[in-house]
Amino acid sequence: QLQASGGGLVQAGGSLRLSCATTGLSFSRYDMGWFRQAPGKEREFVAVISDNGRTTYYADSVKGRFTISRDNTKNTVYLQMNSLKPEDTAVYYCVADRDYVGRASGGYDYWGRGTLVTVSS
């Protein structure tokens, strides 16, 4: 089970940190990622981190502003979001897969419930 938290309302230029705690998975063996879906838009890739934390990929739209990290001792993955923009407003979903570090939503076997991030202008 994946449980995302940390969403909320923030002004443009502000920061938020999302967390995703997992249970029932051998966390250190799973690649972890974040997707988001804005109102009226398709779900899109945000970031992914490999099981050992050595590899990360980001969507171009968040590169340089968002940072994905993980703590394998706490079975938790994080998404630090800085310099937030109104276009970052979306429901953010935590995802996991045993062996996939990519941008395709279909590559991930496990999805958590989302957490809403709203960025006001």
* Amino acid 45: pLDDT: 98
* Amino acid 109: pLDDT: 94
* Amino acid 105: pLDDT: 92
* Amino acid 91: pLDDT: 98
For the chain (length 121 residues), average pLDDT per consecutive 10? Answer: 96 98 94 97 97 97 98 97 98 96 93 96 93
| Of 20, 16, 40, 44, the residue nearest 96 (C-alpha) | 20
User: Among all chains, which residue has been given the structure tokens 């739209």?
Assistant: 61
* Amino acid 5: pLDDT: 97
Residue 71 neighbours by CB under 8 Å, 6+ apart: 77, 78
